[in-house]
Amino acid sequence: MRRDTGFPAADAENDFLRARRGQVLSRLAAWLRREPDDVNIMLPFHEVVEALGYLGERRLGLQTVRLDSIVGSVDRTRDFDRRFRPTSARVRERWQRLALAARRGEAVPPIEVYRVGDLHFVQDGHHRVSVAHALGLTVIDAYVTEIVTRIDAHGIRHRGDLIVKDYRRLFLERVPLSGEARAAVLLSDPWDYAELGEHIEAWGFRLMQDEGTFLDRPTVALRWYQEEYVPVVGMLRQADLIDDRTETEAYMWVAAERYRLIRTHRWDSAVIDTIRTSRSS
């Protein structure tokens, strides 16, 4: 709880001490709960963009940005935690100077951020963001540059989430799905994207052998989705074999079971019945 003394310099000092204490307690709580090490670490901008695949950028100018959407940094990930609380006393002097200026009502320049999806990463203004959090603000003025990426940033919460995004980006380079198909094919385990890519490429090879013609990657991806994935997922739904997996995870499981049990690449109701029977036995 923040209690002001009425003396701006003393209050700015207390602001810093309270922010540091909150950071230390947060680390201790995370350790006691055995949470992943990255739960309180801010997201590194370059790793996020690399995982999603950089396409381009555009300047959007001065905007008002929600503080809770600022989750990372371009180059200062060691000085502040995920909520921009100071991780050491190294930033204290500059931090308190900015807090004092804010408490006196002095103008504070806008920060500079990169936008990736609905996430923001600080390029310049880490101390200003930290002070704004400490003073209980919810928004801050920022010059925004939007980064366009191959895949969206949805679902990124911690650094570990980047592994899934990176493998999904590589998968979509091998299997260039688009639109509805791109959104539908989702896996939780990043390693499964490599296995699914191999599976689809093998399916495409068999298709080209059957038709005696060459098909490029986008064509193979589209035909696999329309002729293989959608019908099989429909059969799985009817047979109540999706369970708590994603549809894609259910598809991969049943495709492996099909070949393990009856050594075939075909699909029909008899295949589904066989898999369901083996599952309950």
CA–CA separation, 241 and 76 (whole Å): 47
Residue with tokens 């006196």: 104
Three-class DSSP category at 201: helix
All domains in the chain, ordered by first residue: 8-149 (3.90.1530.10), 175-280 (no CATH)
CA–CA separation, 172 and 150 (whole Å): 9
pLDDT 10s digit of each residue in the chain, 281 long?
Answer: 556 666 667 777 777 877 777 666 666 665 555 654 544 677 889 888 888 889 999 999 999 999 999 988 998 667 888 788 888 888 888 888 888 888 888 888 999 999 999 899 999 999 999 999 888 899 999 999 999 998 888 877 766 677 777 888 888 889 999 888 888 898 888 888 988 999 999 999 999 999 999 999 999 999 999 999 998 898 888 878 787 888 999 888 888 777 665 555 566 666 666 666 666 55
Residue with tokens 């396409």: 55
Residue 79 contacts by C-beta under 8 Å, 6 or more apart in sequence?
86, 87, 88, 90, 91, 126
CA–CA separation, 213 and 222 (whole Å): 16
For 240, phi then psi, to 5°, come to 60, 45
